[in-house]
């Protein structure tokens, strides 16, 4: 059986591609089209490149979040006094949300990333009313 690949179907030239109806997506305009084996390597490289770019973008977003937090901490005037526990709560909440985003909401994997037990993470999620 030949490999399948996603192609953008131009409404004017819809007959150009042999489209498989089982995987057709009407909302995005992408449909699976049958192709010979020669295009399989190129599609796989494009998928790998897109995955790599997505991982890089997620890494940059995490780095920006930490940079923003560091800048905010440098601007805190401790001489005026701060509520230590509120700052710890805010920091823990941000870390937990970041880990949950990274793991698509999987609390066990998020706990592993944070170096916590899953029960500890779950209790902090309930304590801080974190919704993900």
CA neighbor of 73 nearest in space, from 61, 113, 101, 65: 65
Is 102 within the bounds of a domain?
yes
CATH of the domain at 99: 1.10.10.60
Query: Domain range spanning residue 130?
Result: 76-132
Crossing angle between the packed helical segments 84-102 and 107-114, to the nearest 10 degrees = 120
Is 57 within the bounds of a domain?
no
**What DSSP letter does each residue of 31-97 carry, written as one string?**
EEEE--GGGHHHHHHHHHHHHHHHHHHHHHHHHHHHHHHHHHHHT--GGG---HHHHHHHHHHHHHH
What's the pLDDT tens digit per position in 9-21?
444 444 444 444 4
- pLDDT at 5 exceeding the cut of 60: no
Contact yes or no for 124/92 (Cβ under 8 A) = yes
Q: How many domains does the chain have?
A: 1
Q: According to the model, what pLDDT value does residue 124 have?
A: 95
Is 100 within the bounds of a domain?
yes
Is 8 within the bounds of a domain?
no
Is 3 within the bounds of a domain?
no
Q: State mean pLDDT over 71-79.
A: 78
Is 37 within the bounds of a domain?
no
Give the pLDDT band (50/70/90) at residue 109: very high
What SS3 class is residue 4?
A: strand
Is 114 within the bounds of a domain?
yes
């Amino acid at each position: 059986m030949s490999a399948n690949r996603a192609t953008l179907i131009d409404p004017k030239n819809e007959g150009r591609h042999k489209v498989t109806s089982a995987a057709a997506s009407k909302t995005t305009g992408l449909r699976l089209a049958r192709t010979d084996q020669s295009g399989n390597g190129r599609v796989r490289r494009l998928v790998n490149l897109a995955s790599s770019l997505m991982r890089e973008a997620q890494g940059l977003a995490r780095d920006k979040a930490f940079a923003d937090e560091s800048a905010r901490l440098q601007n805190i005037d401790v001489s005026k006094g701060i509520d230590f526990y509120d700052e710890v709560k805010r920091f823990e909440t941000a870390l937990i949300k970041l880990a949950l985003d990274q793991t698509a909401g999987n609390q066990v994997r998020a706990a592993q990333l944070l170096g916590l037990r899953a029960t500890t993470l779950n209790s902090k999620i309930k304590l801080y009313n974190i919704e993900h």
